[in-house]
Amino acid sequence: MNSHSNSLFGLVFVLPLLAVAVWIFYTSWRALARGELSPQWRLRLIVLSVIGIGLGIWFAFFKVTEVPEQIRFTGFPIPTELYRFTDGEWRNVSPPRLVVILGTLTNFITGVAAALLPAKLAAFINQAKETFPKRP
């Protein structure tokens, strides 16, 4: 496999996760703008967004995981920097630049989306209550 096909392979994981995270982020704020959430959720959504920004920064730039002393990677859920311990030193085996850039963006937006998930679920429940009212 050449490096071009390796970068495309990495995008198979990055792009769907990025799409889901962007969808959660967008629809959470859209639900607030359309009035699908109660007014008390405005402050909650702002607080959750601030928490999400912090979580996104941590996911994208500070989360380091070491797998049984052989592999170390930065970024969650998409590894953006990979190091393998061989011959007594850590060797960089990071993915191609395109995957690193989109992976970092995905990690950040996933952190924000994870924090906004309670607001998204509340909007979904409110919409379900309106769509399927209780039977008498």
* H-run or E-run covering 65: strand 64-67
Full-model pTM: 0.82
Q: What does the domain layout of the chain look like in residue ranges?
A: 3-127
Give the tens place of pLDDT for each residue, 110-133: 999 999 988 888 777 877 887 877
Return the exposure string of 120-136: e unless at least 16 CB atoms fall within 10 Å of the residue's CB, then b: bebbeebeeeeeeeeee
Instruction: Count the alpha carbons within 13 Å of 15 in the hemisphere toward its beta carbon.
Output: 7
Residue 125 neighbours by CB under 8 Å, 6+ apart: none
| Tens of pLDDT, residues 61-116 | 999 998 887 899 999 999 999 999 888 898 998 888 888 999 999 999 999 999 99
Residue at 25: amino acid letter:
F
